[in-house]
């Protein structure tokens, strides 16, 4: 996988959760249900919060703003030099939405992740703290999502493969994909807003004011 700046904010969480990227056939909102959330706009830097409470900033910045060509979409972008000193620019489109008292974002996956997941979505729940100027994003926990699908609360496909651990045979989660419609997903999130998500957020720190 070819991960750049935007991916930093979810890659660490996915690695902690077992290297499985949960995907969704549909976003948590239609384009019409999406919102333009000004709390998201600005220049951000990903943060790493260590176990002792110290905070480290990543080297690269992320810009978030309106998509001028698709007005209900939000864009996250970053520019950087690659290993050949060539200037690269990455853009990520996502839909932000509000369900009940909670905010969610659906990030459109591209072929940079894999051809298999291109066109699908990644789901996160976010909160902006006005005092610290930090944006916290909690991504979906694949283990919790697996339980939800097994209980029939969402429609989806679970792919597992046999593996040996400590001399015992067990099944290892390889992929997990939600096929429920946008309406079904929104109703689930309305009833169970915290059921799917990791406890620990990934953080972005605002670097400059929106103005």
Digit-by-digit pLDDT tens for the chain (211 residues) are 334 444 545 444 444 445 688 999 999 999 999 999 999 999 998 887 777 878 888 777 888 999 998 889 999 887 776 677 777 777 889 999 999 999 999 999 887 767 888 899 999 999 999 999 999 999 999 999 999 999 999 999 999 888 877 778 888 889 999 999 999 999 999 999 999 998 888 888 998 655 5
3-class secondary-structure state, position 3:
coil
User: Is residue 211 a part of any domain in this protein?
Assistant: no
Range of the domain at 9: 5-206
The reply to whether 169 falls in a domain is yes
Q: Is residue 121 part of a domain?
A: yes
The answer to whether residue 83 sits within a structural domain is yes
Round to whole Å and give the CA distance between 132 and 92.
25
Distance CA 121, CA 22 (A): 9
Residue 101 resides in a domain: yes
For the chain, the domain total comes to 1
pTM of the predicted model, to two decimals?
A: 0.85
Instruction: Tell me, yes or no, whether 92 lies in a domain.
Output: yes
Cβ(188)–Cβ(27) under 8 Å?
no
Residue 67 lies in a domain: yes
């Amino acid at each position: 996988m070819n991960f750049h700046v935007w991916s930093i904010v979810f890659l660490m969480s996915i690695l902690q959760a077992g290297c499985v990227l949960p995907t969704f056939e549909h976003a948590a909102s239609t384009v019409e249900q999406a919102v333009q959330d000004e709390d998201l706009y600005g220049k951000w830097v990903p943060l790493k919060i260590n176990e002792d409470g110290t905070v480290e900033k990543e080297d690269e910045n992320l810009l978030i703003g309106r998509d001028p060509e698709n007005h209900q979409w939000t864009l996250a972008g970053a520019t950087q030099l690659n290993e050949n000193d060539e200037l690269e620019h990455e853009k990520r489109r996502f839909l932000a939405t509000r369900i009940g008292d909670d905010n969610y974002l659906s990030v459109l996956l591209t072929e940079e992740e894999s051809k298999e997941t291109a066109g699908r979505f990644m789901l996160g729940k976010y909160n902006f703290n006005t005092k610290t100027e930090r944006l916290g994003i909690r991504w979906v926990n694949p283990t919790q999502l697996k339980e939800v699908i097994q209980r029939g609360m969402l429609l989806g496909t679970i792919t597992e493969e046999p593996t040996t651990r400590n001399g015992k045979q067990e099944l290892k989660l390889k992929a997990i994909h939600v096929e429920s419609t946008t309406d079904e997903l929104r109703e689930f999130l309305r009833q169970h807003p915290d059921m799917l998500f990791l406890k620990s957020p990934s953080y972005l720190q605002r670097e400059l004011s929106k103005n």
